[in-house]
Every structure is written in structure tokens, then in C-alpha cells.
Structure 1
């Protein structure tokens, strides 16, 4: 059975120690897959590079790439194995599509990757290859890079994009009891394009989406990019569903979008 590709919001790093609806969803998510993946390839918003990078490690170190959080956050270790065979397989796909890339050893997993994967695969026994994104590329280019990995899904590899559709730390409301209307309107507009696989509108989201400057500020556009990479990896099926949606601090969107694979109905 073919694995889906998926976009997962990683929210605040404190998701690693929180018990809420989203963390409970993540802990059940792996059981909802068609079968256990042989490996995960994850595009992380916190690995933004002009040259496409592909991790190449036997065992990943855990990067604590945040500050000002509870001390226990800095003691978490997630020593998941790498998959050098998959790293080279991905490199071959990039090479075949004339995409310059580099195999990168020793960097470790950033929190965009390990916070989510630790919830999904808590035993740290799932082989992982982390991939960079390039926030300077156009949406069409980001989608095209994801599309290069479409065949991996038939090879039982789970492709994940980790980021945040609405991610503006300057507009957080610590005491918010409900999501901000502008954040919901942006999410809903993006959702309409995903459900109909409207690439023309989606690739032009910076000009067309409501509240886009608040939802995707210039200093955090790398958080939106993983959506396009994950979506491109399901270009062969072009189906989309959203099994989870919630918000933190009024506007930080916590959602999961699944593309292709089992459980997604046809696009209308």
C-alpha cells in the first residue's frame, strides 16, 4: 500500500512536553497509516538552505534549537537512526532531475523534525532522513522538488513537511480563548485550494490569500514552504484531507494535511 505524504504543523517546541488534543492526535497518527513505514523523509522549516541538503547519519543527534523554554526541554534526546541507503536514493532522484544537493552528516535533527517524530514514533526506532527547504524558491519550485520524491511513497517511505501555515510569533495572544478570525480565514482559504488541488491559486497565495502578511510574515516564510514540498510528493494522486485542526495562542495553526495514500477521497 502507498504511504501518504503529509504536512504537519510543529507549533511551539513545548509540544514535546504538553498533553493536549494535538499531541494526542500525533501519538495516534502512526497507527492510522496504511502500514508501518520503512523510513521517514522529513522536510523541516528549521533547515532552510539555498542548497538542497539530505541528512547522511548513522544515528541522529538531537538539536535543541530554541531558547527560553523549560529546562526539561533541553534534556530530551531522540537518537533516531538515519538511513544512508535512503539518503543516496533521494540523492539519485535529485540528480536525475538536475537538482544540486549535498549529503550532510553530523547536523542532527532540529525540533521541527524530532518534536513531531518523537510523538509518532516514541521508541526512536524509525529511520529518518531530514531534508532542507529553500524559502527563497518559488512555490512552484518547492512543489517540483517534492514531486521528485513521489515514487518513494510506493516504496513505503512516509514523506512529511513540517512547518506552520499560520506562524507569526509577533501576533501571539497568550490568553486567547478562541482562534483569531484572520488566522482561521487564511487557513480556510489555503484549505479550499488544497481540497481542489488548485495549484494556480496556491502558487500565487502571496497575492491572493486573505491576511497573508500576518499569516506568513517575511521573517517566517520558511514555515509555509514545507506544505508545498509535501503536496508535491503526492502529485500522482492529487487528493487531500485534513484530519486535525486546532490553534495555539490565538493564531498558531496546528493542523495535519494528508495527501494521497489511503483514506483520501477524490478531488471534486
Structure 2
């Protein structure tokens, strides 16, 4: 069974306790639309490191890596299993592609990972291997790392990049704000490159995309890079579909893109 690769916006950590159109979509995506994967490999924007890490845990703890949120969020746990055998396979793939990497144990899953996974697979019974991202790498390198593990999808492994296309906390409005034109224009430009699989343009998004300095500020660049890792994992199909797009606080984009999975009806 071949799984798609997904880019999923994880929004605010409060997504974990919200009930809205996006959380309903994520629940439907995991429980009704996708065939249950045997494992998940996830790249999270909240694990940004110059070293490439691969978790090797048998079980993951839940990291509450956020501050100033409602007390109930710190009581949420999502203790999912790991898959050390899959971790070793990923390590072998990286080694064969001359990508230096480090195995990691005991870190736990950050909220960029568990908030999304908990919505999609609430039973916590799908093993997870978490991989770090590196926002300092070139877009070409980020895409290439995702492409290295594209073959795992044919083993019923779901690859997810969790981040956000427009993620500028300094430009947020209130939660009733209508979507900002600049945010929509940036998302739509990225979407056009994805649908056309125009790598030449997309990999130069920092020079070519409209409003890129507002959408991808230097202090939050790590949020867009999971898109490139996930897209790379879909390189063997080169088919992109937008499954969801909405906004919170005027410009925080909540979107989901599927790469491959053309036989999945949605």
C-alpha cells in the first residue's frame, strides 16, 4: 500500500483544544480518508537543528514546548510508540546518500508533531519516527532529504511535514479578522507552484514569492521548510492537491497539501 506525503499546518498550539472546521478536517483526514499507515515519519518545524536527527525511541513522551496557554493544554498527553526498525532503515537511507545524521532518544514529540497527529490518529496506535529540519539548509537540500525517503511511502509509511506557510506572529490580528490580502496572495503563489510542480520557481520562493518577508520572517523561517521536505517525499509522483486552506487571526494560514495519493478520494 502506497501512502501520500502531506504538508499540514499546525497553527497555534491551541489547535489541540479547539473544535472548528480545521480540526474537523484533520479528524476526517486521519480517520476516514487516509488508509491507516503502518507508521508515520514526521518533520516538525519545532525541531530545527543543523544536525539531522532521527528518533529511535520505542515510546514517545509528549513535549509541552509552549508558554502562557490554558492550563488544560499542559495536561494533554499523546504517548505514541516509536518504530526503531524504521528508524534504522531511515539511518541506512541517509548513510547511503552521504547525509550525516544522529540518532536521538528521549526527546519526546514537540507540539508541531503531536497536536496534528493527535487530531488525525486519536488512539495513538500508529508508530511515529520524528525527524528534525534545518532551516539553514538551502531549499534544494531540504527537498532532497525528503526525496531520499520517498520510497518509504510504498511500504505504507505516511510522511508528514508539519509547519505553516504564513507564520508571522507579529502580524496577527484578532481571531475574527478577515484573511489579509498579502497572506492569501503568498499562499496562492505557493499553491500555483505546487500544482504545476514548478521546482525552479518554488525553490527560489525567497526571491520570487509576493510578500515573502511578511509571510516568512527570518525569525520563523523554519515553519515553511517542512513543506519542502514533504514535497520531496512526493517527488516520485509529482502530483499536488490542496485539501484545505483557511486562516486564523487574519494571516495564520491553516492549509493541508497532499503529494501523491491520487487514488485517495477527497
TM-score of Structure 1 vs Structure 2, range by shorter chain: over 0.9
TM-score (norm 1): 0.97
The residue number in structure 1 matching 2:13 is 13
Q: Hey, what's the Cα distance between the residues in 2 that align with 1:213 and 1:114?
A: 28
The residue number in structure 2 matching 1:197 is 197
User: SS where residue 72 of structure 2 aligns?
Assistant: helix
The residue number in structure 2 matching 1:88 is 88
User: SS where residue 47 of structure 1 aligns?
Assistant: strand
Structure 1 gaps of 5+ residues are: none
Q: Residues 109-128 of structure 1: matches in 2 within 5 Å? A: 109-128=109-128
Q: Residues 222-237 of structure 1: matches in 2 within 5 Å? A: 222-237=222-237
Q: Hey, what's the Cα distance between the residues in 1 that align with 2:264 and 2:144?
A: 22
TM-score (norm 2): 0.98
1:34 shift after superposition? 4.9
1:174 shift after superposition? 1.2
**Would you say how many aligned residue pairs link Structure 1 and Structure 2?**
265
8 Å CA contact retained: 1:239, 1:264: no
Q: Hey, what's the Cα distance between the residues in 2 that align with 1:175 and 1:256?
A: 20
Q: Hey, what's the Cα distance between the residues in 2 that align with 1:39 and 1:209?
A: 34
**Cα-Cα RMSD:** 1.2
Distance 1:251 1:151, change over 3 A: same
Matched, 1:251 2:236: no
1:62 shift after superposition? 0.4
1:177 shift after superposition? 3.1
Structure 2 gaps of 5+ residues are: none
Matched, 1:180 2:180: yes
8 Å CA contact retained: 2:45, 2:163: yes
User: SS where residue 114 of structure 2 aligns?
Assistant: helix
8 Å CA contact retained: 1:57, 1:105: yes
Q: Hey, what's the Cα distance between the residues in 2 that align with 1:36 and 1:241?
A: 20
1:176 shift after superposition? 3.6
8 Å CA contact retained: 1:52, 1:132: yes
The residue number in structure 2 matching 1:70 is 70
Distance 1:34 1:163, change over 3 A: closer
Q: Hey, what's the Cα distance between the residues in 1 that align with 2:123 and 2:31?
A: 14
8 Å CA contact retained: 1:3, 1:262: no
The residue number in structure 1 matching 2:45 is 45
Distance 1:33 1:91, change over 3 A: farther
1:124 shift after superposition? 1.1
